[in-house]
Structure 1
Amino acid sequence: MVHIKKPWIFTASCPSKLGTVDVVTRFMAEAGNYVDEIHSFDDHVSKRFFIRIEFQPQNEAFSAKQFGEEFEPRATEFGMTWELTKPEHKPRVAILVSKYDHCLNDLLYRHRTGQLNIEVPVIISNHPDLKALAEWHDIPYYHLPITAETKPQQEKQIIELLDQYDAELVVLARYMQVLSPWMCDQLNGKAINIHHSLLPGFKGARPYHQAWEKGVKMVGATAHYVNNDLDEGPIITQGIQTVDHAFYPEDLISKGQDVERITLFNAIRYHIEKRVFLNGSRTVVFSS
């Protein structure tokens, strides 16, 4: 079996300008860094350039500090914001959940088997139902009940726990609460939500039953970043499956949950692999 070393990851964005690709790739070659994978995109609407590179240093004395000192003058010339991610970095991902366990189960399985290169330091819920699942994985579980009156206090507790456990990313794995504008501001750009996507749009209680009543022909899911627009943040991934007249409401729910699982997994994977760039209200996603 061929053993492939995990790469360093370089990501950057800047205003569109002649020579953006060259300034990065030329530096990589001059610094003795072998490029394994490269993606770039120039958005003609926003006039911004995005690039992601996986590379293997050929110099055993390679250091991130030296890389930064040598590349920064070139980045400054292009107004470039850039980041370097170490191969061994494992993002700390906090999970928020309510009662539905399909997404949480899937993420914990992928974490346990190494499919998701993350640490899960804490699980937070407004219900006690999934505590045993968290304990089986030896992950701290916090039950924080919420009412309309206690919502500000409960959300403040969540933010304190995220800080306490040094969470880099927050995943709403079917956390069935509408976040306040204050909470959305706290999590802006560092929280991913998953929800069903049914056409036509069925909102409120029992959406799959509503869809069945209308003879829906496809179910889907959308994973997006959290912002103050309810379920309308910048989209990372979407999934879809066709269904037909033989699917009863329970079948639609089961199929929808399958799509939610894989859609959320891909969104988290793209995020932690630095494949997602925020581009105003949209995203640039360099899928693998």
Structure 2
Amino acid sequence: MTSPAATPQQIILKATCPTGSGIIARVTSFLFECGCYVSELAQYDDGDSGRFFMRARFHVESGEMTLEQIQEQFPPVAAGFQMQWSMHLADAPMRSLIMVSKFDHCLADIMYRRQKGQLNMDISAIVSNHKDLRPMAEREGIRFVYLPVNKDNKLQQEQVLLDIIEETDTELV
């Protein structure tokens, strides 16, 4: 076990794949083989979609493995389950997309907390169905996307939003 004085870098693994047996066993065995200690593990099997979701928080407990080395060695594990995955340091800012309406109180609070270091996030874009908060986004140097929604274009605008999320590599909406 790592001594309390040392604070090892925490790493987050997020993964999704088709539902199947042995996913948790294989992933945690791989991490063990890399000298890692898993401190948190959450998983969910969505029966409706047939998808399995997993999030693990871990650190290297023994050995000299780096995040980059673990990332280089993980693809064969992922390939065995047709897994989409990402690994990053836990203290890395989370890529976030903020969706707002007309009122600024929630966005102002998020911006304030981010500026003070209370929210560790990198805002990829602010998306709204109104133009009211564009000046606030521009003042912060954040991309503002106006997506007006009505009953006739809702599905198209949802697809535009999904495209923005993918294009900006957003993790949190």
Matches within 5 A, 1:175-254: 177-178=148-149, 180=153, 181-188=155-162
Distance 2:124 2:53 in 1: 31
| Cα offset, 1:53, TM superposition | 0.2
Q: Which runs of 5+ in 2 are unaligned?
A: none
Matches within 5 A, 1:1-288: 7-58=10-61, 61-93=64-96, 95=98, 97=100, 99-120=102-123, 126-127=131-132, 131=135, 139-140=140-141, 158=145, 177-178=148-149, 180=153, 181-188=155-162, 272=172
Larger radius of gyration: 1
Q: Percent identity?
A: 32
Q: Say whether the 8 Å CA contact 1:15–1:79 is kept in structure 2.
A: yes
Q: Which runs of 5+ in 1 are unaligned?
A: 144-157, 159-174, 192-267, 277-288
TM-score by length of 1: 0.45
| Cα offset, 1:55, TM superposition | 0.7
Distance 2:53 2:99 in 1: 31
Q: Say whether the 8 Å CA contact 2:31–2:37 is kept in structure 1.
A: yes
How many residues get paired?
Answer: 160
Distance 2:101 2:19 in 1: 43
TM-score by length of 2: 0.69
Change (3 A) 1:97 1:13: closer
SS in 2 for 1:41: strand
| Cα offset, 1:8, TM superposition | 0.9
Distance 2:18 2:125 in 1: 38
| Cα offset, 1:74, TM superposition | 2.2
Distance 2:85 2:164 in 1: 17
SS in 2 for 1:116: coil
Alignment-mate amino acid for residue 16 of structure 2:
S
Give a deviation string over 1:174-208, Cα, whole Å, max 9, x none. x89317454432321765xxxxxxxxxxxxxxxxx
Distance 1:60 1:190 in 2: 40
Q: Which residue of 2 aligns with 1:283?
A: none
Distance 1:26 1:99 in 2: 49
Q: Say whether the 8 Å CA contact 1:12–1:83 is kept in structure 2.
A: yes
Distance 1:142 1:23 in 2: 40
| Cα offset, 1:82, TM superposition | 1.7
| Cα offset, 1:39, TM superposition | 0.7
| Cα offset, 1:109, TM superposition | 2.5
- Worse-superposed segment, 91-100 or 13-22: 91-100
| Cα offset, 1:66, TM superposition | 2.4
Q: Say whether the 8 Å CA contact 1:16–1:47 is kept in structure 2.
A: yes
Alignment-mate amino acid for residue 7 of structure 1:
Q
